[in-house]
Amino acid sequence: MLRACAERGVRAAFVASGGYGEAGEEGEGARARAGARADALGIVLAGPNGQGVISTPESLCAQMVAPYPRPGASRSRARAATSSRRS
């Protein structure tokens, strides 16, 4: 999939799924191979096992949890807003 993304000009990817480093040697090997392939293709790879990526200056919110933080919000304030709304 990373190769197909690179062919289309994708420069960053996010892996939400687990089963990598926490899955022992085999999973760690898969994580290392994915990272090496992303590096070779010039793709920034976030994850695996993450909840998403947020960049408030860029108005980017690619996360699996809500809410979207207001533009310019610091990470700690965004976390506090998310935590307080889940309670």
Blockwise average pLDDT, block size 10, the chain, 87 residues: 94 84 86 93 87 77 69 56 43
What's this model's pTM, rounded to 2 decimal places? Answer: 0.62
Domain parsing of the chain, residue ranges = 1-50, 53-87
Residue 40's φ and ψ, nearest 5 degrees, are -65, -30
Closest CA to 67 of 77, 57, 87, 82: 82
